[in-house]
Amino acid sequence: MIAHCLKRREALLALAVLALIALVQTRFSGFVRPDNLAAIFNDSAILIILALGQMTVILTRCIDLSVAANLALTGMIVAMLNAAAPDVPVAALILVAITLGALLGAVNGLLVWRLDLPPIVVTLGTMTIYRGAIFLLSGGAWINAHQMSDAFKALPRAVLFGLPVLSWIALAVIAAFVILIGRTALGRAFYAVGGNEHAAVYTGISAGRTRFLAFTLNGALAGLCGYLWVSRYAVAYTEVAQGFELDVIAACVIGGISIAGGIGTVGGAILGALFLGVIKNALPVAGVSPFWQMAISGAAILLAVAFNARSERRQGRIILKSAEHTAPAGAQA
């Protein structure tokens, strides 16, 4: 039943994305050109990667508000390393970014696991710490394009088989998550811990360890996106991706990832990110004010939350009815 509802939700969201594209196409005939649609996907690539990482955290009934600050801090560090030592291979810098991001994510996971602190409080605190660390490391200075090596800036923009490398990285992450979530014990543990933590513990799953791994994985992807962001835009500064964590969470919610945990799919997270990506690309083309863009995005989030809550209540009633039908007559009495 839950799987059926999720497929229905993804189908409706896909139709909404297509309807939005068709609506813009009526006013701007070139909007559905393959190169323009590929550009929209490329613009949404970082959001897709981060939404998939955030999904694993939300599935375990947690949330990570520090993801954009993690991105900004790792991005600043690798940009500073590149400016100071331009001969260091880009692959090594990417490895540094992923490792550092994973460590920052692991800090969140340890605080939630070992100290049993509320995830929203922990990540709100680390978000502030990470933002402050950027300023302390950089002294408030920017790292600009002329300070970065050509190789550092070129990788995400390089075109391979008709698509930028940034898009290929997003596709690789999507493929990895399809396997992780659908085919591995860890993927099943994410759902189990978020769906029913006590039952998961009885089956031998460590809820704390699973949440720790979710935060660490989310942090590693944020670190990867830290490099991708600063190299693609060729700038690193204190306010990089300021507020972007809200877009990441919004993509998950719109994609049907339940804030209550245990419900969501890779496809839903991708469609949620693409929905926001199309809005951010289509509305400026249509001449819509940035303030209306914010209002429309906010309305979409509220509608998605309401839809999620209604679906979850309906599923709860179905489960209760099933239990009543299967219970012994004496138990019902």
pLDDT, position 4: 54
pLDDT at 89 over 80: yes
pLDDT, position 328: 52
Sketch out the chain's domains with CATH numbers.
2-323 (1.10.3470)
| pLDDT class of 299 with cuts at 50, 70, 90 | confident
Per-residue model confidence as pLDDT tens digits over 33-67: 888 889 989 999 999 999 999 999 999 999 999 99
Residues 223 and 213: beta-carbon distance below 8 Å:
no
Tokens of 268: 């839903």
Residues in contact with 219: Cβ distance below 8 Å, sequence separation at least 6, in sequence order:
53, 67, 70, 101, 102, 103, 104, 105, 106, 108
Per-residue model confidence as pLDDT tens digits over 138-192: 998 999 999 999 999 999 999 999 899 999 999 999 999 999 999 999 999 999 9
Residues 247 and 276: beta-carbon distance below 8 Å:
yes
pLDDT, position 312: 61
Q: Containing H/E element for 225?
A: helix 207-233
Per-residue model confidence as pLDDT tens digits over 197-241: 999 989 999 999 999 999 999 999 999 999 999 999 999 999 999
Average pLDDT, the chain: 87
The DSSP secondary structure of 150-185, one letter per residue, reads HHHHHGGG-EETTEEHHHHHHHHHHHHHHHHHHHSH
CA distance 41 to 38: 5
pLDDT at 310 over 70: no
pLDDT at 319 over 80: no
Residue with tokens 């940009």: 79
CA nearest neighbour of 62 among 101, 109, 125: 109
| pLDDT class of 75 with cuts at 50, 70, 90 | very high
| pLDDT class of 28 with cuts at 50, 70, 90 | confident
What is residue 238's DSSP assignment? T
pLDDT at 296 over 90: no
pLDDT, position 311: 66
| pLDDT class of 316 with cuts at 50, 70, 90 | very low
pLDDT, position 284: 73
Residues 153 and 231: beta-carbon distance below 8 Å:
yes
Is the pTM higher than 0.85? The answer reads: yes
Q: pLDDT > 90: what percent of the chain? A: 65
pLDDT, position 320: 43
pLDDT, position 32: 77
